[in-house]
Amino acid sequence: MELLRSLLDAGARGVLPGLFCDAALPTEAGNRGVGSRFLARFNRGQEGDPFAPPLSREARVLSTSDGRFVGRKGLVRGVAQEMGPSALLDLGGVQVAVISRRQQLLDPAQLEALQVDLGPVRTLVVKSRGHFRAAFDDFAPPERILEVDGPGLASPQLASLPLHRLTRPVFPLDEGVTWPPARE
């Protein structure tokens, strides 16, 4: 959410972040209908959750879907999947794919279910640790992929996570600890 907020604040254009999971938002967009405008409130009802900060922006509904798709590439190739009610929202130059069943963006078919044409997309923001690579290789070859560390539980910076019940020292959080452990 912080990356989305930063993109919007910077006035980014041609950017498509996805997939955001918010059970209420795609249903609201679907009820309002394609072409309608409304105040999209992300993470409504999750106040106080440090990993789901709220964000509100004016949005236009570009498309809606029941979220069903069959994977074409990568991990879900040939497999029928469901994202639940889904919507593509335009937040003023940044289009956001919002789904109601939590999952990573693993296949272009997920975006195609929302009628997304990746051709004009300048920047695809994928909320995934790496599972997207096999399916989006023709859109983003390895030399064009930039990994971004944002706040949240999927951070590769494990030392930044609030790990309170961990026996210390532990690799890779603490300095001087190696893996595999040194034999005595």
Is 161 within a domain? no
Q: What is the pLDDT of residues 98-147, one digit of tens each?
A: 999 999 999 999 999 999 999 899 999 987 777 888 888 888 888 888 88
Is 158 within a domain? no
Average pLDDT of every residue of the chain: 89
Is 164 within a domain? no
Is 177 within a domain? no
Buried b (16+ CB within 10 A) or exposed e, 155-174: eeeeeeeeeeeeeeeeeeee
Instruction: Please give the residue range of the domain that contains residue 141.
Output: 2-152
Q: What is the pTM of this model?
A: 0.85
Distance from C-alpha of 21 to C-alpha of 28, rounded to nearest angstrom? 13
Work out the percent of the chain whose per-residue pLDDT is above 70.
97
Q: Which residues pair with 88 in a beta bridge?
A: 63, 97
Is 95 within a domain? yes
Quote the pLDDT of residue 113.
Answer: 97
pLDDT reading at 5 higher than 80? yes
Is 172 within a domain? no
Is 174 within a domain? no
Long-range Cβ pairs for the range 171-175 (8 Å, 24+): none
Is 173 within a domain? no
Q: What is the pLDDT of residues 50-68, one digit of tens each?
A: 778 889 999 999 999 999 9
How many domains is the chain partitioned into structurally? 1
State the pLDDT confidence band at 69, using cuts at 50, 70 and 90. very high
Quote the pLDDT of residue 184.
Answer: 63
Distance from C-alpha of 86 to C-alpha of 89, rounded to nearest angstrom? 10
